Amino acid sequence: MARRSEALAVIGRAVRTPQGATGLAIAGCVVLVAAIGPAVAPYSSTQFVTAPFARASSVAWLGGDILGRDVLSRTLDGGWELLAMAAVATALGVAVGAVLGVMAAYYGGWWDNVIMRAVDVILAFPQLVFALLLVAILGPKIWLIVLAVAISHAPQVARVARSSALDISERDYVKAMQILGIPGRRIVRRDVLPNLTSVLMVEIGLRLTYSMLVIAGLSFLGFGLQPPAASWGLMINENRVGLIANPWGVLMPAILIALFTIGVNTFTDAVARASLGVGGRATEPEPVALVAREVT
Amino acid sequence: MTTTVTAETEKAHEPKPRKPHPIRDMVIKRSLIGILTLVLVSILIFAATQTLPGNAASAVLQNTATPARLAALEKQLGLNRPAVEQYWTWLTGVLHGNFGTSLANGQPVGTLVGGRIVNSLVLVVLAGLIGTLIGVGLGVLAAAWRDSLFDRVLSVTSLAVTALPEFVVAVVLVIFFAAVVVHWFPAVSVFVPGTAPWSNPKELVLPVATLVLVIVPYIFRMMRASMIDALESDYVQMARLKGVPKWRVLLFHALPNAIAPTIQVIGLSFLYLAGGVVVVEYMFNYPGLGQALVSAVSDRDIPQIQAIVLVLAAFYIFVNIATDVISLAVSPRRRLPRS
């Protein structure tokens, strides 16, 4: 498949730009911390090691949290579940959204109306509020949060996929194939979908940061992993009363969440540029339009 | 909603009494779709909260559920009646301003939520206006001094901090301005119930600043990009060659044409604010809709959740319509009827 390697080539071009490399490295470091963290943590994340909000010492390198547990161990332990949830929610949301969007564009008419109306209904909720609505009824369950975030991503991805698919189907070579009598299904599979890959890669990056935003936000509000489990969002909330005594309990999770978002953003922008023009120095307005179009 | 719609129609109507009127047509069409969406949204909210398997009554009572208490609460919520009838009762109540009774404290939801709407609106409008001014201003300056140090620093920073979670921004602000470095502002709001939020401006600074910092990067990036586009266009070149002063070219030739795409992003920022207030109000203990939603979700106070989510959804739909109408009104090219 020549076209599939074209998608890889876009990523390759993005990685070779300084911006793309920096972004990937930053996000990669956070993923590494979250992935190997539980294995290298000096203590268990629920073990009482020192006094509440104790200052950093040789016993606890980043001090104690609200109950005297080790901040370093809880930081190392509290990321992988957050990142895994964000990754699954993003993959699910983009996949469902892309399928719905292409279906709406391909079938048109009645299908298009039903799908886009459903999209409007879900788009009438702020993402976090939509997740809260589901959590309110079924309780703060991990699968539910992942599902809620995925459902709230799908409409936005569907819109982007639909308009790109419509755009592609307007092109001459697609029209030529239609005139030649090539079945529509085959045109979608062989020509529309491959051309969507670079649009969808940018969507994956955007949705990943928003997944992180909503899932960590829910965890901050107390509707993610339940205590005593360690989770970055929850840690910030638990430890902010002791901000003056030991700021690390708040700072470490905040820094890691921020670095992940910054890294993914920077890399996604590099991918968006690479997919537009060879050499990466594409005109500025296009990537900004891509990034800004579906902000919320 | 209807009053605003007619006001806007008339405002747009007066200066150009043209026969095919795209703005009026659009307002009418979008309002009808908006109302339809709101009805669908209300069905979704209702279905999710009241008729889901597992039953709202047992969700509320949890461990304290006994058959007698369950039956009593089911009767109070009207769960023993058919779903369509329940929805109809709820909807007619909502249309008469009756949102039911809070399960947490027995007060009418309308009065609990009513005052908080104003508080949240103060936060959203202040943050939206300040964020728009800063974002547009910085965007124009960065485009005017393109590739200068000022532009490069701002562009890199704004790209990096886009979509930073609001509680991370809030925590950083609290560390700098309320807890560790200086103590200028309170880390949490302490509003006396019944006082207006603007009577205590110091309490508003950090919540508003958090929201502003989250939305400015979006507006800035869009403004800069569309300004650069406009500055490279032929009519701006023409104006320059005619010897129009630089600031005049910037503000009167380029800006009006560059603002249209930015209005979409400003609209999106207002949409974001409707969700962003939830975390920020919780963080600063600000008595708005978001904070009420978080505690209602904790208490499983279903009538209150229904009311707040419905209000937020209505705000969302309204902002969407307003954004499209305003961006149509400011872009002369798109205002013409399509051939």
Instruction: State the DSSP string of A160-216.
Output: HHHHHHHHHHTSHHHHHHHHHT--HHHHIIIIIHHHHHHHHHHHHHHHHHHHHHHHH
Q: Which residue type occupies A60?
A: A
Contact B222 A288 (CB under 8 A): yes
**Residue labelled with tokens 């701002």:** B154
Sign of torsion, CA B99 B105 B111 B115? negative
What is the nearest CA distance from A281 to chain B, expressed in angstroms?
Answer: 14
| Residues of chain A with C-beta less than 8 angstroms from the C-beta of B44 | 121
Q: Please tell me which of the candidates B175, B271, B316 has its beta carbon nearest to residue A247.
A: B175
Q: Please tell me which of the candidates B40, B168, B221 has its beta carbon nearest to residue A292.
A: B221
Contact B225 A213 (CB under 8 A): no
Rounded to whole angstroms, the Cα distance separating B266 from B323 reads: 8
Rounded to whole angstroms, the Cα distance separating A170 from B5 reads: 36
Domain that holds residue B244: 118-297
Among chain B residues, CA nearest to A119: B37
Contact B275 A213 (CB under 8 A): no
Rounded to whole angstroms, the Cα distance separating B283 from B197 reads: 16
3-state secondary structure of A149: helix
Rounded to whole angstroms, the Cα distance separating A129 from B275 reads: 6
Buried b / exposed e over B215-239, threshold 16 CB at 10 Å, is bbbbbbbbbbbbbbbbbeeeebeeb
The whole-number pLDDT of residue A250 equals: 87
Closest to A79 in 3D by CA, of A286, A283, A225: A225
pLDDT tens digits, one per residue of A132-162: 888 887 778 889 899 999 998 898 888 888 8
Q: Tell me whether residue B149 is in a domain.
A: yes
Q: Tell me whether residue B34 is in a domain.
A: no
Q: Give whole-number Cα distances, B88 to B42, B83, B84, B91, in Å.
A: 11, 9, 6, 5
Q: Is the pLDDT of residue A270 over 60?
A: yes
Q: Which residues of chain B are modeled with pLDDT < 50?
A: 1-13, 338-339
Q: Is the pLDDT of residue A8 over 90?
A: no
Q: Tell me whether residue B278 is in a domain.
A: yes
- The two most distant CA atoms of chain A are separated, in Å, by 77
DSSP B191: P
The whole-number pLDDT of residue A286 equals: 40
For chain B, what's the residue count?
Answer: 339
Q: How many domains does chain B have?
A: 1
pLDDT tens digits, one per residue of B45-75: 888 776 555 556 666 666 666 777 777 777 7
Buried b / exposed e over A249-287, threshold 16 CB at 10 Å, is bbbbbbbbbbbbbbbbbbbbbbbbbbbbeeebeeebbeb
pLDDT tens digits, one per residue of B147-194: 888 888 888 888 777 778 888 888 888 888 877 777 777 766 666 666
Closest to B10 in 3D by CA, of B244, B329, B262: B329
User: How wide is the angle at C-alpha B290 spanned by C-alphas A240 and B264, nearest 5°?
Assistant: 110
Q: Which residue type occupies B31?
A: S
User: Which residue(s) pair with A69 in the sheet?
Assistant: A48
Instruction: Supply the CATH number for residue B270's domain.
Output: 1.10.3720.10
For testing the chain B interface, which of A90, A117, A128, A251 should be mutated: the one with the most B CBs within 10 Å? A128
B209 HSE (CA, 13 A, CB side): 20
What are the percentages of helix, strand and coil residues in chain B, rounded to 5?
75, 0, 20
Contact A262 B225 (CB under 8 A): no
Please, which residues have CB within 8 angstroms of residue A157's CB and are 6 or more apart in sequence?
Answer: A93, A94, A96, A97, A98, A101, A200, A203, A207
Contact B279 A128 (CB under 8 A): yes
Q: Is the pLDDT of residue A28 over 90?
A: yes
pLDDT tens digits, one per residue of A83-142: 999 999 999 999 999 988 888 887 778 888 888 888 888 888 888 888 888 888 777 888
| Residues of chain A with C-beta less than 8 angstroms from the C-beta of B298 | 222
Is the ipTM of this structure higher than 0.85?
A: no
Q: Is the pLDDT of residue A235 over 80?
A: yes
| Residues of chain A with C-beta less than 8 angstroms from the C-beta of B179 | 243-244
Rounded to whole angstroms, the Cα distance separating A17 from A274 reads: 9
What is the nearest CA distance from A52 to chain B, expressed in angstroms?
Answer: 18
The whole-number pLDDT of residue B130 equals: 95
Rounded to whole angstroms, the Cα distance separating B333 from B156 reads: 33
Please, which residues have CB within 8 angstroms of residue A277's CB and are 6 or more apart in sequence?
Answer: A283
Please, which residues have CB within 8 angstroms of residue B181's CB and are 6 or more apart in sequence?
Answer: B175
Contact B160 A216 (CB under 8 A): no
Among chain B residues, CA nearest to A122: B41
Q: Where would I find the H helices in chain A?
A: 2-16, 18-40, 71-77, 80-107, 109-123, 127-138, 142-169, 172-180, 184-187, 193-220, 232-239, 248-276, 285-293
| Residues of chain B with C-beta less than 8 angstroms from the C-beta of A123 | 316
| Residues of chain B with C-beta less than 8 angstroms from the C-beta of A240 | 171, 174
Instruction: State the DSSP string of B56-115.
Output: HHHHHHGGG--HHHHHHHHHHHTTTS-HHHHHHHHHHHHHTT---B-TTT-SBHHHHHHH
The whole-number pLDDT of residue B192 equals: 61
Contact A120 B300 (CB under 8 A): no
Cβ atoms of A37 and A75 within 8 Å: the answer is yes
Helix (H) or strand (E) run with residue B21 in it: none
Q: Give whole-number Cα distances, A259 to A285, B2, B150, B193, in Å.
A: 25, 45, 23, 39
The whole-number pLDDT of residue A291 equals: 41
Average pLDDT score, chain A:
81
Q: Tell me whether residue B135 is in a domain.
A: yes
Q: Tell me whether residue B91 is in a domain.
A: no
* pTM of the model as a whole: 0.82
The whole-number pLDDT of residue B269 equals: 87
CA B229 vs. chain centroid, Å, equals 28
Exposed, middle or buried, B65 (CB in 10 Å: 0-12/13-18/19+)? middle
Q: Tell me whether residue B160 is in a domain.
A: yes
Task: Inform me whether the C-beta atom of residue B269 falls under 8 Å from chain A C-beta atoms.
Answer: yes
Q: Which residue type occupies B50?
A: Q
Please, which residues have CB within 8 angstroms of residue B209's CB and are 6 or more apart in sequence?
Answer: B173
Q: Tell me whether residue B238 is in a domain.
A: yes
Q: Tell me whether residue B71 is in a domain.
A: no
Rounded to whole angstroms, the Cα distance separating B31 from B12 reads: 16
Whether the bond into B82 is cis, omega within 30 of 0: no
Q: What count of CB pairs under 8 Å joins A to B?
A: 168
Task: Inform me whether the C-beta atom of residue B39 falls under 8 Å from chain A C-beta atoms.
Answer: no
pLDDT tens digits, one per residue of A198-230: 778 888 888 898 899 889 989 888 888 888 888
Rounded to whole angstroms, the Cα distance separating A258 from B52 reads: 37
